[in-house]
Amino acid sequence: MEISELAYHKSSTWYEEERQDEQWTLVLVSYGKCVYWVEERKYVLEKGQLLLIPKNVPLLWEKCPYHDA
């Protein structure tokens, strides 16, 4: 396994990604809560939780602004 990119997102707006890449995505929630929709399935993540998203899978996510702490 190789880490090819690291991103930090701090926003309460929606993000949608139509991904056409060869890499899987590992999400680690470092604070608060966020919601991910991966292949039409909803995942509510809290601080300390992980989500592994397969390559080439479209996703939609949003940080829950009322759960900042």
Q: How many CA atoms lie within 13 A of 30 on its CB side?
A: 5
Task: Give the model's pLDDT for residue 23.
Answer: 80
Task: Give the model's pLDDT for residue 45.
Answer: 92
Task: Give the model's pLDDT for residue 11.
Answer: 61
Tokens 């929606």 -> residue: 14
pTM of the predicted model over 0.95: no
| Distance of alpha carbon 16 from alpha carbon 58, whole angstroms | 8
Task: Give the model's pLDDT for residue 69.
Answer: 44
Q: Per residue in 4-39, pLDDT tens?
A: 777 776 665 656 666 666 788 888 888 888 888 888
pLDDT confidence bin for 48, thresholds 50/70/90: very high
Please report, for residues 4, 15, 23, 36, 63, the alpha-carbon distance to residue 1 in angstroms, rounded to integers and kept in the order given.
Answer: 10, 26, 10, 24, 28
